[in-house]
């Protein structure tokens, strides 16, 4: 029981899933069922509520197409960022805590070996973060 994340769909409320231009913000694919069983990540010391990338993969692949944009206003350790990279989606996000901004940039760099990230907060020095990265830092 404890080994899995279980995502239960609560209710399909029309107002909650439609945005003004009629596009669907969330598109539930009924064949996916109400309960998703995904193994918990083995490494979850980067963030106290870190989710498995496979969990986010499933939501992203259900609700977006290749090259579409995904917005995560609570990035945390960057699980959605990694999933977007894996699945060919463009990612935009916000994170309040500098330590998590650092972790998600390190995680992205470790996964892609690229640092094509733009930080709007000019106090964030991406190069310094990457240079600071521990040798054994892993991405998943």
Question: Which residues form the interface with ligand SAM (CB under 6 A)?
Answer: 47, 49-51, 73-74, 76-77, 79, 94-97, 100
Spatial distance between the Cα atoms of 73 and 18, rounded to a whole number of angstroms: 19
Nearer to ligand SAM, 77 or 106 (CB): 77
Q: Do residues 60 and 74 touch, judged by C-beta distance below 8 A?
A: no
CB of 24 to ligand SAM, least distance (A): 22
Nearer to ligand SAM, 18 or 105 (CB): 105
CB of 21 to ligand SAM, least distance (A): 25
Residue of minimal CB distance from ligand SAM?
Answer: 76
CA atoms within 13 A on the CB side of 6: 7
Spatial distance between the Cα atoms of 94 and 120, rounded to a whole number of angstroms: 10
């Amino acid at each position: 029981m404890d080994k899995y994340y279980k995502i239960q769909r609560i209710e399909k409320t029309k107002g909650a899933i439609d945005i003004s231009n009629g596009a669907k913000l969330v598109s539930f694919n009924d064949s996916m069922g109400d309960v998703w069983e995904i193994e918990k990540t083995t490494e979850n010391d980067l963030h106290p509520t870190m989710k498995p990338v496979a969990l986010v993969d499933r939501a992203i692949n259900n609700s977006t197409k290749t090259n579409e944009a995904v917005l995560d206003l609570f990035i945390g350790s960057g699980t959605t960022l990694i999933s977007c990279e894996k699945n060919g989606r463009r990612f935009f996000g916000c994170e309040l805590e500098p330590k998590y901004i650092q972790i998600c940039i390190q995680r992205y760099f470790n996964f892609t070996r690229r640092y094509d990230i733009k930080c709007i907060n000019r106090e964030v020095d991406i190069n310094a973060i990457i240079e600071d990265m521990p040798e054994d830092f892993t991405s998943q």
